[in-house]
């Protein structure tokens, strides 16, 4: 990297990120209505799984469905501004996020290419980010302390997050018995959230024995078919906010397209169980 191509940073805070914030805080979002409509239109030309089933047919169908979902998501994407997640950091802002991302990018460049230019660029980014972070924390502390009557311990407790904690109740009723002693309340809460394992009912033991006997006597290929209720429960219990895999499909995409793809998903799921197949994609 030539010295005349380095990014110049202005020491004044608003000018540092005035233009960089607008280019950085644009993220990809999905228009759910357009996504469902496009996917529904594309699925009309997809042929259902045909008999006899084979591993090649199931793998091809799974790959085709994944490609259609990813294609529909790409077509229906839109740009939107990210909201800053402040949490317990009231001093956090878009500008600080931009500076932190700039610093991380400079560190990555220096890690990939150990040159003096990259090292100096990372040092400048880091120093600017740390300086602006200290200024933001200081200004926020002064603002909170002015509202709290210069009570230092009260300000620190509020900024640490302990200000909004839920106190222990002074009195609770457990199984018709009122408790007002802190030790008894804690013991009752512990028994409620972490109960002892109850003794097994004889009926439960009979059910477990019959299930074990049925599993041991049944053949490997005689799986009961997956129902729509089971598929729906599985899809909507997926953890959201995670990164997609190689198929570029996130849990949010599966849940948004479930009404359109549930018949295809159900057929593929039952076909995989019938063939005892784990798809390649």
Taking only the tens place, the pLDDT of each residue in 190-216 is 777 777 766 666 777 777 777 777 666
- pLDDT value for 2: 43
- pLDDT value for 12: 40
Taking only the tens place, the pLDDT of each residue in 210-242 is 777 766 665 545 678 888 888 899 999 988 888
Yes or no: say if 72 and 35 are a contact pair by the CB < 8 Å rule: yes
Q: Which residues contact 174 (CB under 8 A, 6 or more apart)?
A: 188, 192
Shortest CA distance to 266 belongs to which of 239, 222, 232, 237?
232
Alpha helical stretches, state H, the chain: 13-16, 20-24, 32-43, 55-75, 94-112, 116-147, 152-159, 182-193, 202-217, 228-236, 251-256, 258-275
- pLDDT value for 215: 64
Distance CA 257, CA 251 (A): 10
**For residue 50, what are its two tokens?**
């045909």
Give this prediction's pTM.
0.46
- Report the 10 Å Cβ neighbour count for 193: 7
- pLDDT value for 243: 77
Taking only the tens place, the pLDDT of each residue in 51-95 is 677 888 888 888 888 888 888 888 887 765 445 555 567 778 888
Distance CA 173, CA 181 (A): 12
Taking only the tens place, the pLDDT of each residue in 252-265 is 888 888 998 888 88
Give the residue-averaged pLDDT of 137-146: 78
Taking only the tens place, the pLDDT of each residue in 151-203 is 666 666 665 655 555 666 778 887 788 888 878 887 887 777 777 766 666 77
Res. 131: pLDDT tops 90 = yes
* Sign of torsion over alpha carbons 58, 64, 67, 68: negative
Distance (Å) of CA 77 to CA 28, 57, 113, 172, 199? 6, 30, 34, 51, 54
- pLDDT value for 15: 35
Res. 122: pLDDT tops 90 = yes
- pLDDT value for 160: 60
- pLDDT value for 45: 78
Res. 109: pLDDT tops 80 = yes
């Amino acid at each position: 990297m030539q010295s005349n191509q380095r990014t110049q940073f202005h020491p004044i805070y608003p000018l540092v990120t005035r233009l960089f914030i607008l280019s950085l805080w644009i993220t990809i979002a999905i228009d759910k209505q357009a996504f469902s409509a496009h996917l529904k239109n594309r699925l009309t030309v997809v042929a259902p799984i045909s008999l006899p089933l084979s591993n090649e047919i199931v793998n091809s169908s799974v790959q085709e469905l994944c490609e259609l979902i990813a294609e529909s998501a790409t077509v229906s994407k839109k740009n939107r501004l990210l909201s800053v997640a402040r949490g317990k950091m009231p001093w956090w802002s878009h500008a600080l996020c931009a500076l932190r991302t700039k610093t991380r990018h400079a560190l990555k460049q220096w890690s990939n290419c150990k040159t003096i230019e990259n090292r100096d660029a990372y040092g400048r980014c880091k120093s600017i980010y740390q300086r602006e972070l200290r200024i933001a924390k200081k200004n926020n502390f002064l603002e909170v302390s002015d509202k709290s009557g210069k009570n230092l311990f009260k300000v620190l407790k509020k900024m640490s997050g302990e200000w909004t904690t839920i106190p222990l109740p002074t009195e609770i009723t457990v199984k018709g018995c009122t408790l007002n002693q802190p030790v008894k309340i804690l013991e009752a809460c512990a028994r409620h959230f972490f109960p002892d394992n109850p003794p097994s009912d004889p009926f439960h033991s009979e059910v477990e024995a019959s299930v074990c006997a049925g599993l041991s006597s049944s053949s490997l290929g005689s799986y009961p078919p997956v129902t729509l209720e089971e598929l729906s429960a599985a899809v909507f219990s997926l953890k959201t906010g995670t990164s997609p895999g190689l198929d570029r499909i996130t849990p949010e995409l599966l849940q948004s397209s479930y009404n359109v793809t549930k018949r295809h998903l159900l057929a593929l799921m039952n076909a995989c169980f019938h063939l005892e197949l784990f798809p390649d994609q």
